[in-house]
Structure 1
Amino acid sequence: MHTLEQVHTFSQLKVISDPRRLAILKQLMDAPATLTQLGKALGEHPAWVRHHLKLLEQAGLVELSEVKISGGFIEKYYQSKAHAYLFQELVLPEKPGKRTVVLSGSHDLALEMLAHLSGGDLYIFTNPVGSLDGLVALRQGLCLAAGCHLYDTNSGDFNSPYVRHFFPDKKMVLLTLAHREQGWMVSPGNPLKISGLEDLTRQDLRFINRNRGSGTRLWLDEKLSRIGVSPEHVPGYSDEVYTHTAVAVAIHQGQAQIGLGIRAAAASHHLGFIPLFQERYDLVIPQEHLTQKQLAPMFDAFYSGEFRHQVEGLGGYDVSHLGDQIIL
C-alpha cells in the first residue's frame, strides 16, 4: 500500500524548499537508490548528492534502507520514508497571551458574526472551504472546529453519518448553531418567473454554483441526478464561488440570474428569494475542546443573548435549538 504523509514542520518545509533536495526526494519516492545512482539521474557528482541527502535524512524525510557489498565496495541505498508528501501549513499571528483559533468548513454569516463578537484572548479566523473540506481540515488538525450542514439521504440526518466516518476513533460533538433556510436567490421581484429546479436548464438564465464539497453543492447535485438533469445542460454550472455572499453578489451585479444559498445572504443584497428547505448547521468540534479555558470567550459569545438576537436579525435563521449537543 502506498503511503502519503503530511509535511508538518517548518524545518521540513525549509529543507525541501530547495529544488535540488526536492529533486532527490522525488527520485527516492519512486525507488531506493545509491549516491552514485542519484548522481547519474540528476547529472551531479555523488559528493554533491551526499550533502543534500544528509539534510533530507536529518529532517526525517529519507532513510537508509539497505547496505550491499559488491566487488569489495559498500553500497548504501536510501529511500523516502513515504511514497508521497502533502505540504499544508497554516501561518497564523502570534502574540503573548493570545490564542489563534481557525473555524473551517461551510460558509455561514452567523459563524462570521461569532468570530467578530468573540473577544478576550482570542484571534478567530473563519475559513470557508465547504463542509467536506472542513471535516478534512479538522481531521488534519488545521482548525479547531468545522461548520457543517451535510444531509445524509439514507438516514435522513444531518452531519452525524459524515462525522462518524471521518472520526471513528474520537469523541466528537455536534454543537448546533441554527436551523437555516436555503433556496433560490433571484433578482428582486423575480422578473424571469423562476419557479423550480427545472428552470436551471433555461437558456435565458445563467446559474452561479457553489464549490465542490460544499453542502449546498452536494444537495444540488443529488437533486439534479434525481430528476435526470446533466450538469452540462445547466448554463453556468461550472462557475463556482466559495460563499453564499459571493453567490448573492454575482446575482446582484448581473453576472448570474439564479443561485442556491441561504436567505440571509439574499436579504443582505436585497434579492428575491424562493425558499426550498431548512437545514441544521452544526459546529463539529472534538469533545475535549469544549472545556478549554482559553476558548471560554468564544463559547461565552456563542451562548449570549446578544449573539442569539443578532443571528435572528439576519433572516432565515431559527435559533431555537442553538447550543443543542449531539455527542458521537
Structure 2
Amino acid sequence: MSGRLRNRVREARLRLGLSQQELAARTGVTRQAIGAIEAGTMAPSAAVALRLARALGCRVEDLFWLDEEPPEIEAEVVTIDPGETEPAPGPTPVRCALARVGGRWVAHPLRGERAFATELVPADGLARPGSSPRRWRVRLLDRPEDLARTVVIAGCSPELSLWARAAETTHPGLRVRRLFANSVTALHLLRQGAVHAAGVHLVDPATGEENAPFARRLLGGQAVVLVHLGVWEEGLVVAPGNPLGVRGVTDLARPGVAIVNREPGAGARLLLEQCLAQAGVPPAAVAGFDREVPGHLEVARAVAGGQADAGVSTASVAAAYGLGFVPLRAVRYDLVVRREYLDEPAVQALLGTLDNRWVRAQLAALGGYDTTRTGEVVAELAG
C-alpha cells in the first residue's frame, strides 16, 4: 500500500521558535532544503530525518508519515448486560476500545460512563510535616530522575486526560499529571508556578478575542505561549431527541425547563452568562442557574440522569453520553505555557506528541473537536 509522504516539520519548528536557517544549522543542511522538506517537495534521507527529529525533540515517525488509509477489521461488539443489544452506529462512527480475546477481535463501545475512567492515582511519595505548613518532607516512591519527567497540566477539558494517556503511550518515560480546574483557576495555578501549563477556553465579551486577554490579565505579565489544542463546539446538552425543543438560551427561561450550571471561573458558565445577556434574559429567570456542578462530565450526567433538562458543555461530551446538543459557539481550546518551561525536556516531549498522528487521530475521533491547527503556537505574550 503506497501513500504520499507527509510531514509536520514546520509546525514543530515554529513551536520551538526556530527559523528555517536555525534548524538548517542544527541539522547540517541548507535553509533551502528545510523549506523544500516542509513544502513536501523533497523527501529527506534517513540521516537527515533522524537529525531533524533530534533537533526538534521528537521521533522521526512524529515528523514524517505515509498518508495511507488505515485497515479495517470486523469485531464482535461487547455489551455490559448480556440481555441487551448495543445500538448500531449511525451516521457518526462510535469510538471503541479493541482487543484480541481468544483469537477474535472484540469491540467495547466507548459510550456514556464507559467513555471515561475514574482510577486510583499512583503516589509518587509519602509526605510528613516539614519546616513550615507550606513545606513538607516527602519520602520518594520512585527515582528522582523518573519523577522529573512529569508534566502537570491544569484544566477542565476531558480531552486533556485522553491526550495525557496517548502521550504517555507514544513517549515511554513521559509522565503527565492532570489537575482538574476550570480555566480561571488553571491560570491562577500557572501564575503560582504550581503547574507547567493551563488549559483554557475563554472569550473576551468586549473584543471577542480568545484566551489571550485572560492570560494577560491573570498572569501578571509573565511571558507565556499559547499552544493550540483544538477548536471545540460548546452548547447546550439536552436529553436525547431534545424532547423539550430547546433551540437556544431563551428557551431556558420557559416554565418547566431546569438547568444545571458550572461554577464561577468556568468557561462554560461565562458562555452561558454572555449568551443570556445578549438575549436579554436575566439569570434569575432560568431555573437552576445557581445549581452548580464542577465539570463537563457532571453536566452530562445530570442531564442523562434526568436531574436537569439542559446545561452547557461540549459536543464531544454530549456525543459520548448519547445526548442531544444545541450548538452555541465554536471556541479555541489552548494550552498556556510559561516560556521558561519550554526548555524542560518533559515539556518538550509532551508538546512534541501533538505532531503524532495517533494522538491527533484520538482527539479528532471525539467529534465536535477540530484538530486542523493542533500544535500551532497561536500567541506569544511578552513578560
Same fold, TM-score > 0.5, yes or no: yes
Deviates more, 1:196-205 or 1:270-279: 196-205
SS at match of 1:126: strand
1:11 matched to 2:61? The reply is no
Within the candidate set 233, 242, 259, 1:190 is matched to 242
Structure 2 segments unaligned to the other structure (5+ residues): 1-128
Deviations 1:154-205 (A, max 9, x none): 2221011111122343220000000111111111111111111111112312
- In structure 2, the residue matched to 1:31 is none
Within the candidate set 122, 142, 152, 1:95 is matched to 142
Deviations 1:218-257 (A, max 9, x none): 1211222333322222111122122211111111111111
SS at match of 2:236: strand
Deviations 1:85-105 (A, max 9, x none): xx799x997521223332113
1:138 matched to 2:190? The reply is yes
Is the 2:163–2:363 contact (alpha carbons within 8 Å) kept by the matching residues of 1? no
**What pairs up with 1:245-324 in 2 under 5 angstroms?**
245-324=297-376
Question: What is the distance in 1 between the residues matched to 2:229 and 2:193?
Answer: 22
Q: Which has the larger radius of gyration?
A: 1
SS at match of 2:330: strand
Within the candidate set 94, 103, 109, 2:158 is matched to 109
SS at match of 2:281: coil
Question: What is the distance in 1 between the residues matched to 2:362 and 2:161?
Answer: 12
1:122 matched to 2:169? The reply is no
How many angstroms does 1:11 deviate by?
2.0
% of aligned pairs identical? 35
Question: What is the distance in 2 between the residues matched to 1:229 and 1:88?
Answer: 48
Task: Using structure 2 for the length normalisation, give the TM-score.
Answer: 0.60
Closer/same/farther in 2, CA of residues 303 and 10 from structure 1, 3 Å limit: farther
Closer/same/farther in 2, CA of residues 227 and 275 from structure 1, 3 Å limit: closer
Deviates more, 1:250-259 or 1:236-245: 236-245
* Number of aligned residue pairs: 245
Question: What is the distance in 2 between the residues matched to 1:265 and 1:88?
Answer: 39
- In structure 1, the residue matched to 2:103 is none
| Letter paired with 2:132 | Q
SS at match of 2:352: helix
SS at match of 2:270: helix
- In structure 1, the residue matched to 2:279 is 227
- In structure 1, the residue matched to 2:380 is 327
How many angstroms does 1:148 deviate by?
0.5
Deviates more, 1:113-122 or 1:189-198: 113-122
- In structure 1, the residue matched to 2:123 is none
Question: What is the distance in 2 between the residues matched to 1:176 and 1:252?
Answer: 31
